[in-house]
Amino acid sequence: MTAIISNPTDFNVEDLYVDLRPSTGYPLLLKCEGFNFAGSVKLKAATEMVEAKERDGELFPGATLIESSSGNMGVALSIVAASRGYRFICVTDIRCTLAARRLMEAFGSEVHVITEPDLENGFLAARLSYVRQLCAANPGYLWLNQYANDGNWMGHYRTTGAEIAKAFPLLDLLFVGAGTTGTLMGCAHYFRANQPSVTIVAVDAVGSVTFGGSSGRRLIPGLGSGVRPGILDMSCVDDVVHVSEAETVRMCHQLVRHGFLFGGSTGTVVGGALAWMKANGVSDDVTAVAISPDFGTNYLETIYNDEWLAQSYGPQSL
């Protein structure tokens, strides 16, 4: 079927899954969310949050949006803003890949890079503090605040969760990475309401405080948080698994040897899913799905760069 669109948010491949059994040995299906003009799952939430503000009458032509992002949400909002005639300011930090920053700037966004973390709560807290400063100095700025915005998870309730349920009506396990927890909460709320037998497993990064862990150094943007997201509802989550960045890198490199270039968040999710399945003795006949937030093009200078890996984690990382 021929598709003709006039807005970049109108295109997204919703039904492509990669069977990871040949490359990992486990019955795990990977839902690929990178086939849209933003290159990541974040386009769904970005579109929902902006459309909700438009419905509420809070946005007008030429308005300025502002958001804190480690990369993908910033790119997604850059596209949404450009397509709807808004100005967008992204507050990110030094962990954001150069490719993501250049993408945002190409779409006309203004990018502010935080270079020093908050002493107690890391880069995210420092970014949020700077956003608040900019908003206080510029009352006309509209902060979407994806960490506490119900539109973040509602976008995935309407799309991602429903798409998975349609494709796999007998789903047993769902693994979802936790960053802002928008994708996680959208899918978890959907299955709790429509298919409560599905086991929802959140995958987080070691060093993240989202689920009560200790704060630690994290160099790979995407999953994990230095501040607990306001939209997180633990009653919808059955279990949590934490993945080290070393395992994230190892998994990304394992997958690329089979021809699949995925981003760091995907490596974390797959690594966590496999660890959970092994620890829980999951049988071969289970129907398990993990969500891949993005592809690896933006990580060529980091995760897929031997020099960066050696500098970041030491020669043993190679």
Domain shared by 178 and 212, yes or no: yes
Those residues with Cβ within 8 angstroms of residue 23's Cβ, 6 or more apart along the chain or in another chain: 254, 255, 257, 258, 260
Question: What pLDDT was estimated at residue 121?
Answer: 79
Q: Chain-wide mean pLDDT for the chain? A: 95
Q: How confident is the model at residue 216 (pLDDT cuts 50, 70, 90)?
A: confident
Buried b / exposed e across 79-108, counting CB within 10 Å, b at 16+? Answer: bbbbbbebbbbbbbbebbbebbbebbeebe
Return left, alpha or beta for 29; rule: phi > 0 is left, psi -120 to 50 is alpha, else beta: beta
Task: Output the CA torsion sign for 133, 134, 138, 139.
Answer: negative
- For tokens 């007998």, the residue is 170
Q: How confident is the model at residue 222 (pLDDT cuts 50, 70, 90)?
A: confident
- Last residue of some domain: 143, 173, 206? 143
Which neighbouring-strand residues pair with 292? 32
Over 80: is that where the pLDDT of 46 sits? yes
Rounded distance, CA 107 to CA 126, Å? 25
Domain shared by 16 and 46, yes or no: no
Question: Is residue 57 domain-resident?
Answer: yes
The pairing of strands 64-68 and 141-143 is parallel
CB 71 within 8 A of CB 222: yes
Domain shared by 22 and 75, yes or no: no
Domain shared by 184 and 73, yes or no: no
pTM of the full structure: 0.95
Question: Is residue 1 domain-resident?
Answer: no
Which neighbouring-strand residues pair with 30? 18, 290
Over 60: is that where the pLDDT of 318 sits? no
Domain that holds residue 52: 42-143
CA nearest neighbour of 240 among 250, 232, 231: 232
Domain shared by 186 and 306, yes or no: yes
> Nearest-5° angle of CA 117, CA 253, CA 43?
60
Domain shared by 277 and 309, yes or no: yes
Domain shared by 108 and 196, yes or no: no
- Last residue of some domain: 122, 143, 164? 143
Q: What are the structure tokens assigned to 262, written together?
A: 């995925």
CATH number of the domain residue 220 falls in: 3.40.50.1100
Rounded distance, CA 272 to CA 270, Å? 5
Domain shared by 180 and 105, yes or no: no
Percentage of the chain modeled with pLDDT above 70 = 99
Residues 88-127: pLDDT tens digits?
999 999 999 999 999 999 999 999 999 999 888 789 999 9
Domain shared by 177 and 200, yes or no: yes
Domain shared by 170 and 263, yes or no: yes
Question: Is residue 19 domain-resident?
Answer: yes
- Phi first, then psi: what are they for 275, rounded to 5°? -65, -40
Those residues with Cβ within 8 angstroms of residue 282's Cβ, 6 or more apart along the chain or in another chain: 26, 27, 173, 276, 288
Over 90: is that where the pLDDT of 232 sits? yes
Question: Is residue 3 domain-resident?
Answer: no
Question: Is residue 149 domain-resident?
Answer: no
Rounded distance, CA 78 to CA 93, Å? 16
Q: Give the DSSP per-residue string, 20-79.
A: -HHHHSS-EEEEE---STTSBTHHHHHHHHHHHHHHTT---TT-EEEEE-SSHHHHHHHH
Those residues with Cβ within 8 angstroms of residue 98's Cβ, 6 or more apart along the chain or in another chain: 301
CB 109 within 8 A of CB 91: no
Going from the C-alpha of 10 to that of each of 5, 158, 298, the distances in angstroms are 6, 15, 23
> Nearest-5° angle of CA 115, CA 118, CA 121?
130
Question: Is residue 200 domain-resident?
Answer: yes
Question: Is residue 243 domain-resident?
Answer: yes
Span 181-193, mean pLDDT? 98
* Number of domains composing the chain: 2
Domain shared by 128 and 160, yes or no: no
- Phi first, then psi: what are they for 83, rounded to 5°? -75, -15
Rounded distance, CA 283 to CA 13, Å? 29
Question: What pLDDT was estimated at residue 99?
Answer: 92
Residues 260-301: pLDDT tens digits?
999 999 999 999 999 999 999 999 999 999 999 999 999 999
* Amino acid found at 272: G
- Last residue of some domain: 93, 115, 143? 143
Span 74-95, mean pLDDT? 97
Question: Is residue 305 domain-resident?
Answer: yes
Percentage of the chain modeled with pLDDT above 90 = 90
Domain shared by 214 and 86, yes or no: no
Q: How confident is the model at residue 317 (pLDDT cuts 50, 70, 90)?
A: low
